[in-house]
C-alpha cells in the first residue's frame, strides 16, 4: 500500500468532513505535533494513517476499541498487503493520539514494534573512490564526495548553504539537523582544494547544491538519481543510497582509529548506541593493552 501526496490531502479532508468529531479532535492533535516540533514527514504520516483509520470505522480513533484496532491492522497486513512502514506509522500515531487524550492504557496496548537488527551497507574505500570518479558532471562528483566527507544526511546536504562552509577553519556548519540541533563537521582538505573551482564552474547562488532554478534547493529525488546513475557506471554490486555514504564515513573513521565518541558527535547521534552499530561493521584490528608508562618513555608506540 503506497500513498501519494494528493492521497494524504484527500484522506484527511474526507475524515474531517465525514467522521463526527474528527475535525475538532484533529485540530488538537495538530496543535500538539506543532508544539512538539515534530518533523513534517511525521506529521504527514500520522495524520494520513489516523484519518484512514477514522474513515474505516466512522469514529474518531479514541472511540475505537483496542480489539477493533488490532483486527483492522491484521486485515490490512494479511489481506490488503499493508507495508511495514504504514503499519509502524499507524501504531506510532495511535500511541501519540491516545496519550494526547489521556488514554495511556490504550497506548500501552498497541502492538510492539520490533527494531530490525540489520547491519548497514558499507562501501570499501576503493568503492568510494570508484563511485566519486564515475559521474561526468563536476557538480555530481562534488556532491557525492561532499556527502561522504562530512557523513551528512540527505536533508543536511540539501539545505547546506555556501556560507555554511568555512574554508579557514575547515568546518561545515550543519544547521538544524535531525532533532533540530546544530553541529559542526570536518571539512576535508580534498574539498578545500577544489571548492573554488566548484563555485566558479557550477555557480551556485545560495545553496551549495541547487536544482534547476538558481537559488532553489536540490530535490531528494534528484540527489538519489545522481547516486543511482553513478553506481550504474561502477563495478559496485551493493544496494547503495545516499545514506550508504554516511555509513561508510562512520565505518572508515573507525578503521582509521577515530574514537566512537568523536564519531557520535560528527554524526549528530543523540544516543551512543546508534553509533556503536558501526563497531560490528568496521574492520578494526584490536590493540593489546599496555601500560601508559611504556608509551611515555618510548617502549610502545
Mark whether 272 and 181 lie in a shared domain: yes
Distance (Å, whole) CA 167 – CA 188: 10
Distance (Å, whole) CA 131 – CA 227: 8
Residue-wise pLDDT tens digits, 240-267: 999 999 999 999 999 998 999 999 999 9
Respond yes or no: is residue 280 known to be catalytic.
no
- DSSP collapsed to 3 states, 198-215: HHHHHCCCCECCECCCCC
Return the pLDDT at 42.
Answer: 86
Return the pLDDT at 3.
Answer: 47
- 83: cell is 507495508
Q: Which domain holds residue 156?
A: 125-280
Low-confidence ranges of the chain (pLDDT < 50): 1-6
Return the pLDDT at 197.
Answer: 96
Mark whether 248 and 158 lie in a shared domain: yes
Mark whether 275 and 134 lie in a shared domain: yes
Respond yes or no: is residue 153 known to be catalytic.
yes
163, part of any domain: yes
Residue-wise pLDDT tens digits, 132-162: 999 999 999 999 999 999 999 999 999 999 9
* Range 33-41, long-range pairs (CB < 8 A, 24+ positions): 33/96, 37/180
Mark whether 273 and 189 lie in a shared domain: yes
CB-CB contact of 99 with 224 (8 Å):
no
Among the listed residues 62, 178, 184, 194, the single catalytic one is 178
Mark whether 17 and 55 lie in a shared domain: yes
258, part of any domain: yes
Return the pLDDT at 5.
Answer: 47
Mark whether 161 and 276 lie in a shared domain: yes
Mark whether 37 and 183 lie in a shared domain: no
pTM above 0.95, yes or no: no
Respond yes or no: is residue 5 known to be catalytic.
no
Phi and psi at residue 190, in whole multiples of 5°? -55, -45
Respond yes or no: is residue 178 known to be catalytic.
yes
CB-CB contact of 11 with 51 (8 Å):
yes
Among the listed residues 183, 246, 247, 252, the single catalytic one is 246
Question: How many domains does the chain contain in total?
Answer: 2
Amino acid at each position: 500500500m503506497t500513498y501519494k501526496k494528493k492521497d494524504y490531502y484527500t484522506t484527511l479532508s474526507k475524515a474531517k468532513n465525514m467522521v463526527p468529531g474528527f475535525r475538532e479532535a484533529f485540530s488538537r492533535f495538530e496543535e500538539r505535533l506543532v508544539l512538539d516540533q515534530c518533523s513534517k514527514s511525521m506529521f504527514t504520516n500520522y495524520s494520513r494513517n489516523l484519518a484512514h483509520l477514522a474513515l474505516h470505522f466512522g469514529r474518531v480513533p479514541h472511540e475505537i476499541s483496542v480489539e477493533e484496532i488490532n483486527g483492522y491492522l491484521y486485515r490490512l497486513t494479511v489481506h490488503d498487503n499493508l507495508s511495514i512502514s504504514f503499519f509502524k506509522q499507524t501504531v506510532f500515531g495511535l500511541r501519540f493520539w491516545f496519550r494526547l487524550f489521556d488514554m495511556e492504557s490504550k497506548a500501552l496496548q498497541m502492538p510492539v514494534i520490533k527494531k530490525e537488527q540489520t547491519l548497514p551497507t558499507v562501501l570499501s574505500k576503493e568503492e568510494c573512490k570508484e563511485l566519486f570518479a564515475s559521474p561526468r558532471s563536476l557538480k555530481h562528483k562534488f556532491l557525492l564526495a561532499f556527502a561522504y566527507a562530512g557523513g551528512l544526511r540527505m536533508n543536511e546536504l540539501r539545505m547546506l548553504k555556501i556560507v555554511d562552509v568555512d574554508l579557514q577553519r575547515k568546518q561545515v556548519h550543519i544547521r538544524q539537523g535531525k532533532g533540530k540541533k546544530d553541529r559542526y563537521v570536518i571539512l576535508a582538505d580534498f574539498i578545500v582544494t577544489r571548492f573554488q573551482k566548484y563555485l566558479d564552474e557550477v555557480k551556485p547562488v545560495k545553496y551549495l547544491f541547487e536544482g534547476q532554478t538558481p537559488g532553489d534547493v536540490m530535490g531528494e529525488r534528484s540527489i538519489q538519481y545522481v547516486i543511482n546513475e553513478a553506481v550504474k557506471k561502477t563495478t559496485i554490486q551493493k544496494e547503495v543510497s545516499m545514506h550508504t555514504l554516511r555509513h561508510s564515513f562512520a565505518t572508515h573513521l573507525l578503521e582509521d582509529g577515530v574514537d566512537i565518541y568523536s564519531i557520535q558527535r560528527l554524526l549528530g547521534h543523540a544516543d551512543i548506541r546508534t553509533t556503536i552499530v558501526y563497531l560490528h561493521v568496521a574492520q578494526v584490528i584490536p590493540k593489546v593493552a599496555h601500560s601508559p608508562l611504556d608509551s611515555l618513555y618510548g617502549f610502545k608506540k
